[in-house]
């Protein structure tokens, strides 16, 4: 197969799957991995795809911070379905942590408010969504407020966490990468999430399928530190198999 034919095949494959690996392209096209990497470099220079670690993506895997009011209007239906499934994991008299993000805000709105619950959160919009419910005790962390996420970060919030123990952490993320793990666009938020993980018995990641294959600036943890991932049915197949290999419970809505 000549170079132009390989390029056409690669672009069609990436457009169909969203992500392809160097190894699978090498096998399917019967050429070396070195040749495939050169092909991907040329196609990226032409702005036809994005090179990633071990493959290529149809969209830019690196994400930038966006205001929360903008993110609230993206993937709304998927976030609501994911939030409803996550809410099923919360039991009466539970003590949970809800981190920051628009998907975890959807979870706060989906909780059964007839049950007695204690909710510890860094997100001011989560606190405001729950304050009206008499059965839910809200513990708001303090610290420096991030305007883009309406959540607090910093040493004061991290120190407060040392006084609590919770059954579950519901964590929203900006990116899920098979090699780099869970990420967010803000380093201080990533550090706060790490502290939240230390005081939670179970880590539940709730993220729509567009977060898979993406990578933010601040790393939270490796993928194998997670107990449950809840996402929608558009999750790429290669992520499903890898998550199952790691023994993580995957719930797809």
| 144-191 pLDDT tens trace | 998 877 899 999 999 999 999 999 999 999 999 988 999 998 999 999
Q: Is 221 a residue whose pLDDT tops 80?
A: yes
Tokens of 149: 């996420």
SS3 state at 113:
coil
Q: What is the mean pLDDT of the chain?
A: 91
For residue 75, the model assigns a pLDDT of 79
pLDDT at 218 over 90: yes
For the record, the structure tokens of 5 come out as 């034919």
DSSP state of 225: G
**Structure confidence at residue 52 (pLDDT):** 79
User: Which of the listed CATH numbers 3.40.50.1360, 3.10.20.600, 3.30.470.20, 3.40.50.300 matches domain 68-252?
Assistant: 3.40.50.1360
Per-residue pLDDT tens digits for 25-44: 999 999 999 999 999 999 99
- CATH code of the domain made up of 3-57: 1.10.10.10
Q: Please answer whether residues 197 and 221 qualify as being in contact, where contact means their C-beta atoms are separated by less than 8 angstroms.
A: yes
Residue 68 predicted with pLDDT over 70: no
Q: What are 246-250's contacts with CB under 8 Å, separation 24+? A: 248/223, 248/224
Cα 126 from Cα 142, distance rounded (Å):
14
Tokens describing residue 42: 């040329």
Question: For the residues 241-251, what does the mean pLDDT come to?
Answer: 94
218 has which bridge partners?
Answer: 184
219 and 182 Cβ atoms separated by less than 8 Å: yes
Give the CB-side neighbour count of residue 9, counting CA atoms within 13 A.
16
| Residue 110 structure tokens | 């989906």
pLDDT at 57 over 90: no
What is the total residue count of the chain? Answer: 253
76 vs 227: which has the higher pLDDT: 227
Which pLDDT value is given to residue 19?
80
In this predicted structure, the answer to whether residue 61 has a pLDDT above a threshold of 80 is no
The single residue listed with the structure tokens 């883009």 is 148
Token pair belonging to 173: 């993320």
Per-residue pLDDT of 102-144, as tens digits, reads: 999 999 999 999 989 999 999 999 999 999 999 999 999 999 9
**C-alpha distances in Å from residue 206, one per residue of 7, 21, 50, 81:** 36, 25, 26, 10
**Angle, CA 206 vertex, CA 146 and CA 168 arms, to 5°:** 90
Taking alpha carbons only, the member of 200, 120, 131, 188 closest to residue 160 is: 120
Mean pLDDT, rounded, for 227-236? 95
pLDDT of amino acid 72? 56
| Closest listed residue to residue 243, CA positions, set 192, 198, 207 | 207
Q: How high is the pLDDT of residue 147? A: 81
Q: How many CB atoms lie within 10 A of CB 235?
A: 21
Domain assignments of the chain as residue spans, ordered by start: 3-57, 68-252
Q: What is the DSSP letter of 100?
A: S
Q: Looking at the predicted structure, is the pLDDT value of residue 222 above 70?
A: yes
State yes or no: pLDDT of 65 exceeds 60: no
């Amino acid at each position: 197969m000549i170079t132009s034919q390989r390029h056409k095949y690669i672009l069609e494959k990436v457009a169909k799957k969203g992500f392809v690996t160097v190894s699978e392209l090498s096998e399917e096209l019967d050429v070396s991995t070195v040749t495939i990497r050169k092909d991907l470099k040329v196609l990226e220079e032409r702005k036809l795809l994005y090179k990633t670690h071990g493959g290529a993506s149809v969209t830019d895997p690196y994400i930038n911070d966006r205001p929360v009011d903008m993110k609230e209007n993206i993937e709304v239906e998927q976030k609501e379905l994911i939030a409803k499934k996550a809410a099923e994991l919360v039991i009466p008299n539970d003590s949970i942590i809800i981190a920051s993000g628009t998907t975890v805000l959807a979870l706060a709105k989906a909780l059964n408010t007839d049950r007695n619950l204690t909710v510890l959160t860094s997100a001011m919009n989560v606190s405001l969504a729950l304050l009206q419910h008499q059965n839910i005790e809200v513990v708001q962390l303090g610290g420096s407020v991030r305007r883009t996420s309406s959540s607090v970060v910093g040493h004061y919030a991290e120190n407060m966490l040392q006084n609590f123990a919770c059954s579950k952490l519901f964590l929203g993320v900006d990116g899920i990468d098979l090699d780099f793990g869970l990420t967010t666009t803000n380093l201080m938020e990533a550090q706060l999430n790490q502290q939240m993980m230390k005081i939670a018995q179970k880590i539940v990641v709730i993220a729509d399928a567009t977060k898979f294959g993406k990578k933010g600036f601040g790393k939270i943890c490796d993928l194998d530190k997670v107990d449950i991932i809840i996402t929608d049915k558009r999750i790429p197949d290669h992520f499903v198999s890898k998550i199952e290999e790691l023994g993580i419970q995957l719930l797809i809505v």
